[in-house]
Chains A and B, each alone.
Chain A
Amino acid sequence: MFTDKEARIVKKTLQNDFAALTMESPAIAPHCFPGQFLMVRVLPQQYPLLRRPLSIHDRIQSRLSLFFKITGEGTALLARKNEGDTVDILGPLGRGFTFDRNFKAKPVYVVGGGRGIAPLYFLAGELKKRRVHVRIFYGGKNSKELPLLAKMRSEGFNLDCSTEDGSYGIQGMVTDLLKKSFKSELPAFLYACGPEAMMKNVYILASEHGVSSEFSLESIMGCGIGACWGCVKRIRKDGIGTWVKICEDGPVFPGQDIIWEKND
């Protein structure tokens, strides 16, 4: 864990409600793994007060990228930063995906919903470097909610997409894509990140098919470093459900350890 109070933005792209920022951070970049996150200070003032947790979206040598959806004031202000501006970041934090596994030449599924694709892009890239056969399943409300599509396609990723309105890929949910695919093959492992209801359904489907999985969870964070007990989720530890700090023990957890919230 390191602080970089002046990570310089070297590239910024905006696409609909999404922003990508690439920063030069030799202090932090070399230590990052997929699934870990940064706590990002939006502005040096007292509003917005808290840092925002954002996943590490990519890392190339001393550079780090963030990819986020503008959902509120913090992310809106962050998206207003420009190339040459600096950002105060803290990280890498948390435990990421465990991806140095023996997949026995079987495919590995990476399942993203909306902005949940952010950490999965970094993961898929690392898997690809290790010559793992990666298949990405990507779902969103409509084609605008699949922001990284063109980029991933141009980089040669194997992609299956779904949109709820049918504006791109099949009409339906990402679980519909998975159901279909599970009929012909079962992956060695499944990684997912997205809205909690989606992840829960993905978990149910994967476990019905005996597929092991990991999920990246979200929660409001006070500190990101295990000091406030603000970010807890219900997790099974030694068989017992307890409130676990996701900034420290997560944000990535094995599917079978997560006690999913009941749907409303």
Chain B
Amino acid sequence: MIDLSIDLGFLKLKNPVLAASGTFGYGLEFAPYIDLNKLGGFVVKGLYFNAREGNPPPRLVETPAGLINAIGLQGIGVKKFTNEILPRLLEFRTALIINVCGDDEEEYARVAEHLDGRKGISALELNISCPNLKQDGRCPAMDPDSTYRVVKRVKNATSTPLITKLSPNVTDITAIAISAHEAGSHALSLVNTFLALAISLEDRKPKLGNVFGGLSGPCIKPLALRMVYQTSSRLDIPLIGIGGISSGRDALEFMVCGAKAVQVGTANFINPDATVAIIAEIEEFCRQEGISRVEDIVGTLKETVKKSRL
């Protein structure tokens, strides 16, 4: 029997595989395809206080081994979520994480307050890193001070554990990670999508209604992996690795680079059972390699360069 469980300190997971926000609906959409109880957990679509319209279509463009999206966080708002969806999620025995959004610090805090103390919620993931909201793709996670302020404000508003989701659209992700850590975040998830552009050459027009979008999928994996490694090398805080994970091997690479858990995003679109398949592949790899506890693989990358050089 291989022990797949992971201890994040503030939360114990059955296994290291979570479904990523925005790629898994509110969870229920996947119930016809997989047994949600098998997951380490799932993160629901980002929630603002009020319902949101989202961006005008087209909202998606496919690129080689990637996807650019500019959904603009369309959603039902946190009240409708707690009234209509949350009660239906309580039957599942898996970690439920709520992706929290806001136009300003106050809104993040209001959403967090509304969710505080509710049964069934394992943690909040602060989405301070969505690139699809402002014309220039800016978000709080691009700046250490804004990151600190949002995390601190939410920390004061809730007793639920906080995971801060970082943006890759920065020069030094470790500086942002340090800010989130100092503000009291219990864990970090990285990364959100890469700010990107696709155009139609013939029309000389952007392909997305929002002009810019966020790139995800297999093509971002090496970039995300690098950022996870950089962060784990500098900081002692649980990390959740995200970016292009579509197999058990991908997931394990993130763990070797220091992630305690992973999130699977775009791969859910290609196979609704991607998460479950990845869990099975992780288990199989451990069996083959004689690893009895998957957590033992975390942070085992053999150094060929000194950490100070990263």
Contacts and interface: CB of A to CB of B under 8 A. Distances in A.
Contacts of B246: 46
Interface in A64-84: none
Contact of A50 (B74, B270, B273): B270
A3 B273 contact: yes
A3 B32 CA distance: 10
A226 B29 contact: yes
Contact of A228 (B58, B64, B65, B269): B269
Contacts of A231: 57, 59-60
A151 to B, nearest CB: 32
A50 B65 contact: no
Contact of A46 (B24, B29, B32, B65): B65
Interface residues of B, number: 35
Given A3-B273, A50-B269, A227-B29, A243 B54 contact: yes
Given A3-B33, A50-B67, A243-B53, A225 B62 contact: no
A229 B44 CA distance: 13
Main secondary structure on A side of the interface with B: loop
A49 interface: yes
Interface of B: 22-25, 29-30, 32-33, 45, 53-54, 57-62, 64-67, 69, 71, 74-75, 217-218, 246, 266, 268-273
Given A50-B269, A225-B30, A228-B23, 19 more contacts: A3-B33, A46-B65, A48-B62, A49-B270, A50-B62, A51-B270, A219-B58, A220-B62, A222-B69, A225-B33, A227-B23, A228-B69, A229-B22, A229-B59, A230-B60, A230-B71, A231-B60, A243-B53, A243-B74
22 contacts: A3-B271, A3-B273, A47-B65, A49-B62, A49-B65, A49-B67, A49-B218, A219-B57, A219-B58, A220-B58, A220-B62, A222-B60, A222-B67, A223-B269, A225-B30, A225-B33, A227-B29, A229-B54, A229-B59, A231-B60, A232-B57, A233-B57
Which 6 A/B pairs are nearest by Cβ-Cβ distance? Answer: A227-B25, A230-B60, A223-B269, A46-B65, A227-B29, A229-B74
